[in-house]
Amino acid sequence: MIEHDWQMCYLSRQRYCGQKDIGTIRWRFRLPDANIEWNQINILVKGRTYESGVIELLVILSTGKNFCFNLNEMFHIKRNDFDPQIEWFDIEAKLMFGEGDIAWQHAQLFRQKLLLPQNQTADDPLFTISIE
């Protein structure tokens, strides 16, 4: 969504969907080869909610295990939380609820300014995945 009046942009549910409609987006990440050592995965997903809007975030492992985490907070998963055979993990965001005719707009991923003043850089990263 691009809001020219507020000079903002973000991902949301489909325009004009209702309060009960759920928007879902999922990203898949393959883990490094078993011969590569790593200790921890760090995940950060930024967004905003308004009124009764909700964004539910999950890490879904190839083994079927899930972890819930919070919007706008760095989430850490240690290697020993994983099955050694894990090959990939997904990050899933569900955008839900909200109020009235603009309920679809009350859960926003990656909200940021559309245009930045000259000599100003973008805000901190809105989506971060790092493997230590």
CA distance 53 to 48: 9
> Cβ distance 126 to 55 under 8 Å?
no
In terms of pLDDT, which residue wins out, 46 or 132? 46
Distance CA 130, CA 26 (A): 17
> Residue ranges of the domains in the chain?
2-115+123-131
Residue 43: which pLDDT band, with cuts at 50, 70 and 90?
A: very high
Q: What pLDDT is stored for residue 85 in this prediction?
A: 73
pLDDT, average across residues 96-118: 88
Domain 2-115+123-131 matching CATH 3.80.10.10: the answer reads no
Report the percent of the chain where pLDDT is more than 90.
54
For every residue of the chain, which 3-state class applies, written as one string? CEECCCCEEEECCCCCCCCCCCEEEEEEEECCCCCCCCCEEEEEECEEECCCCEEEEEEEECCCCEEEECCCCCEEEEHHHCCCCCCEEEEEEEEECCCHHHHHHCEEEEEEECCCCCCCCCCCCCEEEEEC
- In angstroms and rounded to an integer, the radius of gyration of the C-alpha atoms of the chain is 17
> pLDDT class for 128, splitting at 50, 70, 90?
very high
